[in-house]
Amino acid sequence: MIDIITLRVPGEPQGKLRPKWSPVGTYTPKKTINYETYIKQLFATKYPSFQPLEGELTLELGIYQTIPKSFSKKKKDLMERRIVRPTKRPDIDNVIKSVFDALEGLAYKNDSQFIEVAASKFFDLEPRLNIRITKG
């Protein structure tokens, strides 16, 4: 049985957007649905016929955002060396929520199983999301 799940999600990390209102009720924005579906597809490809984990879980999340092209070489260098870190959107909590919602029922039964979460934001030349879920 697998005790550690790792998943790399290429592309610019996205947070869960707030529900939208319409005359017929609320709905989840298409951008959120697409991103969560993308994460689900990557998981299903890497872990076919996976049985959801049970018990206490821990999430480690690395959020790597694109280094803006308009910044000076000096500032880009500081970003690559992890001295300057992102303070822009997406918010860490919204990225965590996207991951929780995307993998619920696939990687684990319910996001209430998580007893610890660690998330960090960095700039990088290769935008991505690194997900690591461990038992205990």
Q: What is the DSSP string of 77-135?
A: HHHHTTSS---SSSPHHHHHHHHHHHHBTTTBS-GGGEEEEEEEEEEESS-EEEEEEEE
What angle, 0 to 180 degrees and rounded to 10, lies between the N-to-C axes of helices 92-103 and 30-46? 60
The per-residue pLDDT of the chain, averaged, comes to 93
Lowest mean pLDDT among 23-37, 38-52, 84-98, 100-114: 23-37
Predicted local confidence at residue 136, as pLDDT: 80
Phi, psi (5° rounding) for residue 113? -70, -15
pTM of the model as a whole: 0.90
Predicted local confidence at residue 61, as pLDDT: 98
Predicted local confidence at residue 65, as pLDDT: 97
What is the count of structural domains for the chain?
A: 1
Expressed as residue numbers, the domain containing 88 is 4-135
Q: Decide which of 21 and 42 is more confident.
A: 42
**Rounded average pLDDT over 92-99:** 97
Distances (CA, A) of 31 to 27, 87, 90: 12, 21, 13
Q: Are strands 114-124 and 57-66 parallel, antiparallel or unpaired?
A: parallel
| CATH number assigned to the domain comprising residue 42 | 3.30.1330.70
